[in-house]
Copies of this chain bind each other. A is one copy, B any other.
C-alpha cells in the first residue's frame, strides 16, 4: 500500500524528519531553505498536517508552551516508510519553471532594441538580488539549519541555487553586451 504523497505532504514529512515539530516550524524551515524551489503556505500546511495524521503517517501530540496551544507532530513508522519511498522513487519528479522576464525576452522582437536590452538588464538584476538573499542564508546552511544540525545536503542545495543564479546573471550580462553591439552597428 504505497500512499501517494501530495506535493505539500512531501515537504512536510521531510521537514518533520529533519527536526521541525509544529506547523509553524515547518513554515519557517521552508522560508529559510526550500522556498525558491518548493514553497508551502499555512493554508496548505495546517489542513495537510491533519490529513496526514488521519491517514496514519503522522502522530500528533498536544505540547502547549505556557498558555499557547501547540501541536507537535512526528512521523509514524508508516510515515517514515512513505517518506523513504518517495525519496528513492525512480522517476524524474516535478520540474517546472515560470519565468516572466524570459517570456518577455521571447517576445522581444516586438520591442525596440533599447526596450529589449532593458529586459535582459532586469533579468540580471533579478538574479543578483536573489543571489544576495542566498548568500545571506549561507552561514546558517553551512552548520545545518535545524538545531539538530549536522545536515550537509541543505547546504548543497543552496550551493546549487547560488551556482544557478550566477549562471543566469552571467548569461544576462553577455546578452546585454550582445544586444549593445547590435545596436551600435
Binding site for B on A (CB under 8 A): 10-11, 14, 17-18, 33-34, 36-38, 83-84, 86-88, 90-111, 115-116, 118-119, 122, 125-126, 129-130, 150-154, 156-157, 160, 163-164, 167-168, 171, 175
Distance A17 CA – B104 CA, assembled complex (angstroms): 13
| 6 A-B pairs with least C-beta separation | A93-B100, A97-B97, A94-B100, A14-B107, A108-B153, A106-B157
A94 to B110, CA, bound (A): 20
| CB <8 Å contact, B156 and A110 | no
* A72 to B: closest C-beta gap in Å: 19
Indicate which residue in B94, B99, B153, B157 contacts A98 across the interface (CB closer than 8 Å).
B94
Cβ of B102 and Cβ of A87 under 8 Å apart? no
Residues on B with beta carbons closer than 8 Å to the beta carbon of A11: 103
Which residues of B sit under 8 angstroms from A125, Cβ to Cβ?
A: 92
Rounded to whole angstroms, the CA-CA distance of A152 and B111 in the bound complex is 12
Contact between B97 and A98, CB atoms less than 8 A apart: yes
A163 touches B156 (CB 8 A): no
Chain B neighbourhood of A122, CB < 8 A: 90-93
